[in-house]
Amino acid sequence: MRTKLIGLLTLYLGVSVLLTGCWNSRELNDLAIVSGIGMDKLDDEDGYRVTFQIINPTSSAPSTGASSSQPPVMVISSTDRTIFGALRKASRRMTRQLFFAHTQLMIVGEPLARSGINNLFDIFERSHELRLNTTVLIAKNSDAASVLKLLTALETQPSTGLVKKTQNTSRVWGENRRIGVFEVINGITGEGDFTINGIQIIGSAEEGKKKSSLEQTEAPAGSIMSGLGVFKNGKLISWLNGPESRGTQWLLDKLEETSVNIDSLDRNKDISVNVFYSKTSVKVDLQEGKPVFHIHIREEGSINEAGSFVDLSKEEELEKLKKELAEQTASEVKMALKAAQEKRSDIFNFGNELKRTHPELWKTVKKDWNSVFAEGELDLQVDAYIRGTGMRLKPYFPVEKRE
């Protein structure tokens, strides 16, 4: 009796499970893996044009990649008032369901960025497929779709290529840093403003779509990381370039490694220092209603190239170079701060810092922080150290030759 009952129960459960099937099971052949998303503004109506860069597995895999005639990715667009709506609408053009767990990149076109991006990111928080560490880029001077359509040499996946480009340049050059959705959301919710990396198309965007563009040594089109977009109230207001951009990374303590050219005795910027360590500490306080930013930067570098004669075996020469390095750093930091203060946009988290350390002071300036920030004074101290000089102390060219 008892065993019969248990048997029946098992049978019932087994049958019910088998009949109802596997709800969330999806075969890989039924998924279209989206590697990048592009967001653009529609000219005439509200809503977005969302562009999806979809991986074509047969021509991306190592075993078959080169031989296949198809490009490694395909790009489709669809329009809707929400991103989710757009991705579901895209099904009208897709044979497979779009799958977002491997999306690494989100590009926002400049027009959309200028009109405000604050409410783009909710789906990244809410969805379990989209990731908070997706890299965000702003397509400078173009729409996002054309950036997503470019093919890249070396990397089979253009989106992976762009993400790697961001990582690579932030690691060795330092004008950009890795900025993901998570950081953007923190920037939006925190006090003050934030910045996002820009990417710019160089060459012909039309040519860059073709697979044949990769068959030349010099691709007719490509993309380049260019500067930082400054966002105020969620709207792109200006671009920081070159030293301003690098100064921003210094102020944010995000500089990993960079190369700084400093003056030698007689010529301008012909000694290259590789800064491989930099640490910035920030303290903000209010003095008579005006904020004072106490910045202390400690950096370490090594001489990697000398374009004119320096005798690095001499202590005073090194001291001079150290001073030069510190001055150069300070000037870039000042440029960055000045640029931000002109725009009345606190992109350096100074507001957050003040709020964290002195909540009661913060309350007094909270309302018009932007203008208070613009008045702020910089108390900058840079400690530069030169740790290495490479394999030589003196360059091979003698002192005489330098005239």
Restricting to residues 246-305, name those near other proteins by CB under 8 A. Answer: none
Q: Cβ neighbours of residue 299 under 8 Å, at least 6 residues apart?
A: 275, 277, 278, 279, 325, 329, 382, 383, 384, 385
User: Which amino acid, residue 76?
Assistant: I
Q: Which residue has the tokens 């102390």?
A: 393
Q: What are phi and psi of 113, to 5 degrees?
A: -60, -40
Choose, by CB under 8 A, the member of 129, 266, 375, 377 that binds other proteins.
129
391 lines the binding site for other proteins (CB under 8 A)? no
312, 394 contact by CB (below 8 A): yes
| Distance of closest approach, residue 343 Cβ to other proteins, in angstroms | 24
At 299 the three-state DSSP class reads strand
Choose, by CB under 8 A, the member of 42, 80, 85, 99 that binds other proteins.
99
185 lines the binding site for other proteins (CB under 8 A)? yes
132 lines the binding site for other proteins (CB under 8 A)? yes
The binding track of 2-41 with respect to other proteins, each residue x by CB under 8 A or -, is: -----------x---x--xxxxxxxxxx-x-x-x------
**Count of CB atoms within 10 A of residue 310's CB?**
22
Q: Cβ neighbours of residue 90 under 8 Å, at least 6 residues apart?
A: 50, 52, 76, 78, 98
Instruction: Name the β-bridge partners of 231.
Output: 194, 236
| Distance of closest approach, residue 243 Cβ to other proteins, in angstroms | 26
| Distance of closest approach, residue 284 Cβ to other proteins, in angstroms | 13
**Number of residues in contact with other proteins, rule: CB under 8 A?**
43
Per-residue burial over 349-367, b if 16 or more Cβ lie within 10 Å, else e, is bbbbbbbeeeeebbeebee
| Distance of closest approach, residue 341 Cβ to other proteins, in angstroms | 23
- Judged by beta carbon, residue 10 or residue 216, the one nearer other proteins is 10
| DSSP output for 16-80 | HHHHH--SS---GGGEEEEEEEEEEE-SSSSSEEEEEEEE-GGGTSTTTTTT-SS-SEEEEEEEE
| Distance of closest approach, residue 303 Cβ to other proteins, in angstroms | 29
| Distance of closest approach, residue 288 Cβ to other proteins, in angstroms | 23
At 233 the three-state DSSP class reads coil
The binding track of 48-87 with respect to other proteins, each residue x by CB under 8 A or -, is: -------x-xx-xxxxx-----------------------
128 lines the binding site for other proteins (CB under 8 A)? yes
| Distance of closest approach, residue 58 Cβ to other proteins, in angstroms | 5
CA dihedral 154, 139, 87, 21 (to 10 degrees): 40
The binding track of 347-386 with respect to other proteins, each residue x by CB under 8 A or -, is: ---------xx-x---------------------------
What residues make contact with other proteins under the rule CB under 8 A?
13, 17, 20-29, 31, 33, 35, 55, 57-58, 60-64, 99, 101-102, 104, 125, 128-129, 131-133, 157, 160, 182, 185-186, 189-190, 356-357, 359
